[in-house]
């Protein structure tokens, strides 16, 4: 790790050194002790600790000695010139200044302290600031216990120069928040563990052909069980040994946040209970916004989501919608949210656009606005809107429950409302007929209603003789014991005919509905 000299000069034992030249913006890669004649510089940008009597006195030999150090790319010199005249020290400083070598004085007795302090220093890869390891670890601890996970991640990012991410349950925290994390981060199958020496068993380095970044990851454990991950994202070969130490220490601090996992599970269980028609207790409902809209998003394309997909979608939701909302994924993969939003249409359209970009194309059902205490009703409305929109091949991808009109009567076959019972009875009676007759009668009643119970218009529409239509309608009236010349009978069949496409698609109707005109 390279340390900026201007910061190094203000740390620990280095404060006792007297620097007599500018720092020239140089970074130090190591300290090298010179206690013999003419030792070669082993590493470029080293700061040489030169014992007494090793620097030549006369001008020509001194110039050769300094030129050799310059050619070896030394960053500068810290020389023990105890007892030397100020004139000699000034001449040495001037000679170093001409070669842009940093020059300072220190006593040989202090070299051990300098080397010891240097081995315990770490530099921020954000601005180059230098501190000892114990001071940096104290800083991370202070951040976590006084300001929480966001501050901890900010500190981790500051010292490592990498993007830091904490993933626990449905919660993902990232600092800095931009750029947006690559989707590959959430798919374990995309990553290959790299052979890398580290004394920390829980810290591993990964690479992926799906990402330009490398991943340095520490698993989080509670009672020996993993509950999340803390990771750094950086370019190839960017990680330093110090990153392993800082990441490991931060992961130990994070063992106290498994309540995020519990919170996620409580929300998931609460939404599952609500969608099953029961309200959770008030302590759980405190996790929800006071009021809002229920949204249910269903995949328009069937298929099993890959491992990591839910975690990635959760991250996107938290990244783009940091306001208070609650969500969970059903066992079937639908996304269910309860969100407080002033403009729910804007929220829904933005959410769909984000999910589109993640390869998840959905339709969404939206409830009316309710207090959280009526979440059961809200989620019933949202699920009904999403379900019916799918059956109707609804033109819009956003379906509002309040826009369903007559279709709000149907949630077939999930409940036993009278209208659904009638559809079930219709199904039972029609299934007693052969397939051709069943399909023809179904098509006739739909067209008869659409033509406002006008026999001749129905016959024209179906390219059938009007007497045939009269015969079919009489058959339907006898079959269901209804008079289609009465207002009551016409109202009933107006509703049933309107709901017929949903009834057919729900899977209870076994026939093949002919198109009008066939």
pLDDT at 35 over 90: no
CA distance 161 to 142: 19
Average pLDDT over every residue of 8-26: 90
DSSP letter for each residue of 413-453: TTS--HHHHHHHHHHHHHTTS-HHHHHHHHHHHHHHHHTTT
Q: What is the model's pLDDT at position 153?
A: 95
Q: What is the model's pLDDT at position 391?
A: 72
Alpha carbons within 13 A on the beta-carbon side of 96 = 27
Q: What is the model's pLDDT at position 301?
A: 67
Average pLDDT over every residue of 424-435: 72
In CATH terms, 416-506 corresponds, of 1.20.120, 1.10.150, 1.25.40, 1.10.10, to: 1.10.10
Average pLDDT over every residue of 298-308: 66
Q: Under CATH, to which class is 3-119 assigned?
A: alpha beta
Q: Which of 240-244, 246-250, 304-308, 482-486: highest mean pLDDT? A: 246-250
Q: How far is CA 154 from CA 132, 147, 157, 250, in A?
A: 18, 11, 5, 11
Q: Does pTM top 0.75 for this prediction?
A: no
Please state which of the ranges 64-68, 354-358, 359-363, 386-390 shows the lowest mean pLDDT.
386-390
Q: Are 231 and 215 in contact (CB under 8 A)?
A: yes
Please state which of the ranges 11-25, 392-406, 467-481, 502-516 shows the lowest mean pLDDT.
502-516
CA distance 331 to 126: 43
Average pLDDT over every residue of 237-262: 82
424 pLDDT band, cuts 50/70/90, is low
Q: Where are the domains of the chain?
A: 3-119, 130-256, 262-409, 416-506
26 pLDDT band, cuts 50/70/90, is very high
156 pLDDT band, cuts 50/70/90, is very high
DSSP letter for each residue of 185-215: GG-GGG-EEPP---S-TTEEEEE-TT-SSEE
Which helix (H) or strand (E) segment is 310 a member of?
A: helix 309-320
Q: What is the DSSP letter of 11?
A: S
Which helix (H) or strand (E) segment is 172 a member of?
A: strand 171-175
Q: Which residue has the higher pLDDT, 109 or 223?
A: 109
Q: What is the model's pLDDT at position 467?
A: 94
Mean of all residue pLDDT scores within the chain = 83
36 pLDDT band, cuts 50/70/90, is low
Which helix (H) or strand (E) segment is 339 a member of?
A: strand 335-339
Residue 280, token pair as written in the block: 């959770």
Q: Which residue has the higher pLDDT, 428 or 288?
A: 288
CA distance 348 to 68: 69
Q: What is the model's pLDDT at position 279?
A: 92
Average pLDDT over every residue of 219-245: 85
Fold of 262-409: Alpha-Beta Plaits (3.30.70)
pLDDT over 90 percentage in the chain: 30
Residue of 510, 440, 506, 504 whose CA lies nearest to 448: 440
- What lies within 8 Å, CB to CB, of 341 at 6+ separation is 292, 293, 323, 347
Q: What is the model's pLDDT at position 416?
A: 46
Q: Which residue has the higher pLDDT, 37 or 376?
A: 376
CA distance 394 to 49: 78
pLDDT at 305 over 70: no
pLDDT over 70 percentage in the chain: 86
CA distance 330 to 307: 15
DSSP letter for each residue of 226-250: EEEEEEEEE-TT---HHHHHHHHHH
pLDDT at 375 over 90: yes
- CATH homologous superfamily of domain 130-256? GAF domain (3.30.450.40)
307 pLDDT band, cuts 50/70/90, is low
517 pLDDT band, cuts 50/70/90, is very low
Strand pairing of 214-222 and 335-339?
A: unpaired
Q: Which of 314-323, 348-357, 437-446: highest mean pLDDT? A: 348-357
């Amino acid at each position: 790790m390279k340390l900026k000299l201007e910061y190094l000069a203000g740390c620990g034992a280095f404060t006792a050194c007297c620097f007599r030249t500018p720092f020239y913006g140089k970074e130090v890669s190591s300290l090298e002790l010179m206690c013999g004649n003419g030792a070669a510089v082993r590493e470029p940008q080293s700061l040489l600790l030169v014992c007494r009597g090793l620097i030549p006195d006369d001008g020509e030999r001194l110039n050769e000695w300094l030129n050799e150090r310059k050619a070896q790319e030394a960053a500068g010199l810290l020389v023990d010139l105890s007892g030397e005249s100020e004139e000699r020290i000034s001449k040495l400083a001037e000679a170093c200044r001409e070669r842009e070598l940093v020059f300072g004085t220190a006593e040989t007795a202090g070299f051990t302290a300098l080397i010891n302090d240097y081995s315990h220093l770490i530099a921020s890869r954000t601005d180059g600031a230098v501190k000892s390891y114990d001071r940096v670890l104290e800083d991370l601890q202070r951040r976590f216990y006084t300001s929480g996970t966001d501050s901890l991640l900010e500190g981790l990012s500051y010292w490592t120069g990498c993007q830091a991410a904490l993933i626990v349950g449905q919660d993902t925290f990232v600092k800095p928040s931009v750029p947006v994390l690559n989707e590959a981060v959430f798919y374990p199958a995309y990553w290959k563990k790299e052979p890398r020496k580290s004394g920390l068993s829980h810290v591993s380095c990964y690479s992926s052909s799906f990402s330009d970044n490398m991943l340095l990851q520490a698993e989080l454990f509670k009672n020996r069980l993993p509950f999340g991950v803390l990771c750094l994202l950086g370019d190839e070969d960017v990680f330093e040994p110090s990153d392993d130490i800082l990441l490991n220490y931060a992961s130990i601090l994070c063992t106290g946040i498994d309540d995020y996992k519990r919170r996620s599970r409580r929300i998931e269980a609460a939404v599952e209970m609500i969608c099953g028609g029961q309200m959770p207790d008030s302590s759980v409902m405190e996790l929800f916004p006071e009021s809002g809209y229920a949204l249910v998003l269903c995949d328009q394309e069937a298929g099993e989501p890959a491992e990591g997909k839910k975690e990635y979608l959760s991250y996107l939701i938290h990244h783009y919608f940091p306001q208070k909302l609650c969500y969970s994924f059903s066992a079937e993969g639908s996304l269910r949210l309860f969100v407080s939003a002033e403009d729910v249409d804007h929220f829904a359209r933005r959410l769909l656009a984000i999910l589109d970009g993640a390869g998840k194309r959905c339709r969404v059902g939206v409830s009316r606005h309710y207090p959280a205490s009526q979440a059961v009703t809200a989620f019933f409305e949202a699920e009904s809107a999403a379900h019916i929109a799918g059956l109707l091949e609804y033109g819009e991808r956003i379906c509002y429950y309040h826009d369903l009109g007559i279709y709000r009567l149907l949630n077939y076959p999930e409940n036993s409302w009278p209208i659904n019972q009638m559809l079930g009875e219709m199904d039972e009676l029609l299934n007693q007929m052969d397939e051709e007759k069943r399909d023809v009668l179904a098509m006739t009643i739909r067209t008869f209603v659409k033509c406002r119970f006008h026999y001749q218009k129905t016959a024209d529409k179906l390219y059938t003789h009007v007497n045939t239509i009269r015969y079919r309608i009489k058959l339907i009236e006898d079959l269901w014991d209804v008079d289609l010349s009465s207002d009551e009978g016409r109202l009933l069949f107006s509703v049933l005919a309107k709901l017929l496409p949903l009834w057919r698609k729900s899977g209870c109707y076994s026939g093949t509905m002919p198109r009008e005109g066939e």
